[in-house]
Amino acid sequence: MIAPHPDVLALIAAGRTAGSLPFEAMAPEQARQAYAARRPLVQEPPDQVAELRNITIDGPGGPLPLRLYRGAGTDRDAILPCLIYLHGGGWVLGNLDSHDGICCRLANEAQCCVVAVDYRLAPEHRFPAAVEDCAAALNYISQQAKTLRIDPSRIAVGGDSAGGNLAAVLSLMARDGQLPQVLHQVLLYPAVDLSVEGESYKATTVGMTITPATMRYFIDHYAPDPASREDWRSSPLKSSSLAGAPSALVMTCGHDPLREEGRAYARRLEQEGVPVTTLHMSAHTHGMLTLSKVISASAGVLAFIGAHLRDVFNVAHQNVRGVDQA
């Protein structure tokens, strides 16, 4: 196994020195507070964007908050492609603020509109609540594309970790005609099989940002009924067919219990005729993209994702990330 990157080792050492508890040692509300408290320590401030505004729509469980970003340098009246972004956090943690930095950066790098979804969290709202909320958001964005100044033929879905899981599920639902069409899916170290602990659960280095115990904690809160983990809407790798799914970018990390299932999903997509771009960061750990202050590679990876999306969306690069970086 490839040794962890020095940035990853430094992060682990700092957490050990600070006496940080793993999420699984805390009740969900405590874990959410700890997750939010760590954010300014590990994330750079978000880039400036051309527009940022909050929207609330009617969701299946009540009001559903969204946050819309338009990339810096884009024209106010331009009809932009859109990435619907679904945050990570094991279906238990995270919100619009936790992934603000990723959304701003991707809006700028891809010169697109990004819409983030504040879906309901477990254990208060278990599977399939998150799926239902994300599906409602995709429906709304597609139906209101003209008002939102979005091109409905260029809508992608993406997310990290649990958000990658939800993006994969929406992609299959769209393929099956249950949701509006999706052009592309961006799956960043996704969870795609909640029912099986793969080989990478055994090989993951102890003390990483996410460990097998952490994943069990998240899955037990989100899908406590083992039968629900066999449902492809919680475990998209269980789908009988991935053929006809939208093209995909799949990113995995070497020191991550989700490594092997993410790589298996990419292989299946390709084997079943879906165009796939893969990126494997063998020396890095789960969650690296929300660790921009401590993992130096995160900026380059987000730039790569942005360039990839520009290619998918067929848009020119304006070389703008935010006025603070000009």
Residues forming the active site = 161, 256, 286
Sign of the alpha-carbon torsion through 100, 101, 104, 109: negative
Helices of type H across the chain: 6-18, 28-42, 100-110, 129-143, 145-148, 162-175, 199-203, 212-222, 259-271, 297-313
245, 183 contact by CB (below 8 A): no
Kind of pairing between the strands at 113-117 and 51-59: unpaired
User: Peptide bond before 65: cis, by omega within 30 degrees of 0?
Assistant: no
87, 55 contact by CB (below 8 A): no
Structure tokens at 269: 């997509």
- Of 34, 38, 68, nearest to 50 by C-alpha is 68
